[in-house]
Amino acid sequence: MDLEGIRHLAELSRLSLSEEEMEALREHFERIMGYFARLSTLDLEGVEPFYGFGEEATPTREDEVASWPDRDLFLEGLPRREGDFVRVPRIVREV
């Protein structure tokens, strides 16, 4: 990846990077791409693809509806609320 690509990626990520940081990232990405290039040279003939551990590796449970032990005490302790709802700061701005 060249420096122009790093600049574009930083802009998309809304990062302010110095020229030194961009150069360091460029070198880092070059090393990562080198690792992928090495992986592409492996002889994988006869090796079955691995798609994950399956559902048995991550057991799930049924959801249960439960009451909060002291709902009013919880709501009273909130810094911001609207009625019975928690009010949180906006994290996505409008474009």
Are residues 23 and 3 in contact, defined by beta-carbon separation less than 8 angstroms? yes
pLDDT at 28: 95
Q: What is the identity of the amino acid at 77?
A: G
Q: Beta partners for 81?
A: 86
pTM: 0.47
The tokens 């070059």 sit on which residue? Answer: 30
Domains and CATH numbers, the chain: 3-39 (1.10.20)
The tokens 């991550």 sit on which residue? Answer: 58
Indicate whether 67 pLDDT > 70. yes
Are residues 23 and 5 in contact, defined by beta-carbon separation less than 8 angstroms? no
pLDDT, tens digit, for every residue of 2-24?
999 999 999 999 999 999 999 99
What DSSP designation does 91 have? -
